Structure 1
């Protein structure tokens, strides 16, 4: 494994509180911004637009554009072209993680102009991290691209997030839970355990796991009731920011291993496309634990998964049609030579991965009825 450790911190400025979006005009004026390009989702835009009324009354030249739906190279180039056409000083992303990733990439590619993150979901750490997860226009994972600038501003409005669909929040919890399981085998190695940046990365990963297991039930109840509570705000910040700090501080020592590699592999199967990123990563956690033969920890997580209706098997992902060759295809895709999973302190191979996937499937199929 490489010994190189490059720390990529989070946004230049971050704030999470009710009413924070009313400060956006002043913050942009302080940065000498005049022309804005807003890239937004569809349903989320209708909910977010009222929170930006102060921005629209402040005299900026504003151009709006709807996001295509995928963070693809084609979409990034389209946003770059629009920013040049309208002489934009800043691009604001309003929506979910793929919008955040596309806007970050486009702003960097457009001569590193400012980029502003206004999430409408707490579903992943995309608003925080200076990297973009790239897909084909059909939704198949390609690779992660690191960027040479971080977000200029990240503003989290809890009242906007509380109005988001429950599935996205649950997916965010699942994606964030993976931070601990994917990184701890590496971060706990004696040669890493005393390195300051890696110590902080491991602590951030621990906060991710423990906060979710301790507070998820209360936070979800808050979401369902539409009430902003301390538990809800805490997990919104954990999903969006603390999870981003794990990889930001730990770099290749703490980014993604088996859980995310499994996610990336199963994006090649169209049946999985309607499942959210975090749901597929959650299944990947189970595969990683099966690979490591940590069946007791799987048992600990099963009630949590079932309570939140998170996929824990190929059957749950509607991929139970896969035969041995289909499982081997997932195994091959998740263990390619360049896969970060090879940074784990044990052998990672397609054969062993296929065995773990099948063992997990057998284990889940034989669970006693509750």
Structure 2
């Protein structure tokens, strides 16, 4: 199997970097179209427009209606075609960014991704999640290339609710452990091959950065401020985790997250909050060293990430419901089968209950 690593062509991060957005976009397109929802447009629209005005570049800016659906993608594609846009810029949260990726893919133009939060590692990936107009999951759009550029304004991100950054740390927490399991099993990654040493090193650095700077970063953003720790965690949540998961592989933690969506009590949780518990379950499933498990539990508790089912909103331990979670985690095609041993629903149920007790 060939070794493959994939990534955005350029990653830019810094405080107030949004004011320089046009300078970074100019080399890849002269007729940019930006999309953002109403809230984000109100938050950063003037800064973005001024940036392009100062570079004498005409910017088309359209409002994203809130759902990454086929009708919304098609609507915005028509507008971009009329404007003869030669680069698409997505500014905001995950659905806005995925819509921009899809638009650019179908229009065959470059895309620039500008997250205003750091709650997942999706911005760097060659993937968009498509929903129905009513918000139900529809399909994954697998894009052959990663975004041309990802731009992270740490001042904007630090001003978002701290729970979003913490959720991003929960998502990033799984990266190293899933990469480690995938390396042992030798299964193919989302990049379509075996992991490179570089991707594995980024996954490990991601974990080390979380442990070193996670709590400090949380405290800073609770005060609405950036700091060196916030800068490091934004990079860990977005770039290190993004390259780490896509080019080193997913395993049990994200599959268990998918299984947890079966529990209605968990629907209020962010993606990374469920992944954090999924990481703990994976460590139990693979019988990791108890000190490593304790380190992960302590990290989650100091940040406020859930370490047991009760903390996720589950009222009682119903084994039939938890078995449904375990069965969904083990569905055909799930990434749990990238673990370096055979995984069954009963083994997952045992790991869930054990993780719950250890994290109580």
Could you tell me which runs of 5 or more consecutive residues in structure 2 were left unpaired when the two chains were aligned: none
Q: Is the 8 Å Cα contact of residues 89 and 100 (structure 2) preserved in structure 1?
A: yes
Q: Is the 8 A contact 2:49 2:59 kept in 1?
A: no
Contact 1:141 1:264 in 2 (8 A): no
Between 1:16-25 and 1:178-187, the stretch displaced more is: 16-25
Shift of 1:206: 0.9
Residue by residue over 1:153-204, the C-alpha shift from the partner in whole angstroms, topping out at 9 and shown as x without a partner, is 2222121111111000001111111101112123256999xx9952212211
Alpha-carbon distance between aligned partners in 1 of 2:212 and 2:17, rounded to the nearest angstrom: 27
**Paired position in structure 2 for 1:303:** 298
Aligned-partner Cα distance in 1 for 2:333–2:185: 22
Which piece of structure 1 moves more, 50-59 or 301-310? Answer: 50-59
Could you list the per-position Cα deviations for residues 188-240 of structure 1 after superposition, in whole angstroms to 9, with x for gaps in the alignment?
56999xx9952212211111111110111221222123332211111111111
2:39 is aligned to 43
Give structure 1 stretches of 5+ with no counterpart: none
Name the CA shift for 1:284/1:343 in 2 (closer, same or farther; >3 Å): same
**1:315-351 deviations in Å (ceiling 9; x for gaps):** 2222344622211211111111211221211111122
In structure 2, relative to structure 1, the CA distance for the partners of 1:333 and 1:85 (3 Å cut) is: farther
Partner deviation per Cα, 1:257-295 (whole Å, 9 max, x = no partner)? 111112222234443332111111111111112212334
Aligned to 1:159, the other structure's residue is in SS state: helix
CA–CA separation in structure 1 for the residues paired with 2:309 and 2:133: 24
SS of 1:127's equivalent in the other structure is: helix
Compared with structure 1, are the counterparts of its residues 267 and 82 closer, same or farther at alpha carbon in structure 2 (3 Å cutoff)? Answer: farther
Aligned to 1:31: 28
Alpha-carbon contact 1:97-1:125 (below 8 Å) kept: no
Going from structure 1 to structure 2, the CA distance change for 1:354 and 1:189 (only over 3 Å counts) comes to closer
Using the alignment, how far apart are the partners of 2:240 and 2:281 within structure 1?
Answer: 24
CA distance in 2, matches of 1:299, 1:138: 41
CA distance in 2, matches of 1:63, 1:33: 14
1:97 alignment partner, one of 85, 89, 94: 94
Is the CA contact (8 Å cut-off) linking 1:159 and 1:228 kept in structure 2?
A: yes
Match of 1:87, SS state, is coil
Equivalent of 1:329, from 324, 331, 349?
324
Report the TM-score when normalising by structure 1: 0.85
Query: Match of 2:62?
Result: 64
Q: Is the contact made by 1:63 and 1:86 (CA closer than 8 Å) also made in structure 2? A: no
Structure 1 290/81 Cα, relative in aligned 2: closer, same or farther at 3 Å? farther
How many Å separate the matches in 2 of 1:68 and 1:24? 23
Is contact 2:182–2:249 with CA below 8 Å preserved after alignment?
Answer: no
Find the partner of 2:106 among 96, 100, 109. 109
Q: Which moved more, 1:267-276 or 1:112-121?
A: 267-276
| Shift of residue 151, structure 1, vs aligned partner | 1.2
Of residues 162, 165, 173, the one that matches 1:166 is 162
Counterpart CA distance in 2 for 1:142 and 1:191 is: 26
**Selected match of 1:54 from 45, 50, 63:** 50
- Which of these residues, 344, 353, 356, is aligned with residue 358 of structure 1? 353
Partner in structure 2 of residue 274 of structure 1? 268
2:205 is the alignment partner of 1:207: yes
**Aligned-partner Cα distance in 1 for 2:84–2:69:** 22
- Structure 2 partner of 1:13: 10
The answer to whether the aligner puts 1:349 opposite 2:347 as a matched pair is no
Secondary structure of 2:63's counterpart equals: strand
Mapped partners of 1:255, 1:190: distance in 2: 10
**Which aligned runs of 4 or more in structure 1 are off by greater than 6 angstroms?**
189-192
Instruction: Note the aligned Cα RMSD (angstroms).
Output: 2.7
Structure 2 equivalent of residue 315 of structure 1: 310
Q: What is the SS of the residue equivalent to 1:316?
A: helix
Distance 1:339 1:68, change over 3 A: same
Shift of residue 308 of structure 1?
1.3
Q: SS state of the match for residue 288, structure 1?
A: helix
Q: 1:100 to 1:347 in 2, by over 3 A?
A: same
Q: How many aligned residue pairs are there?
A: 353
The CA deviation at 1:106 is 2.3
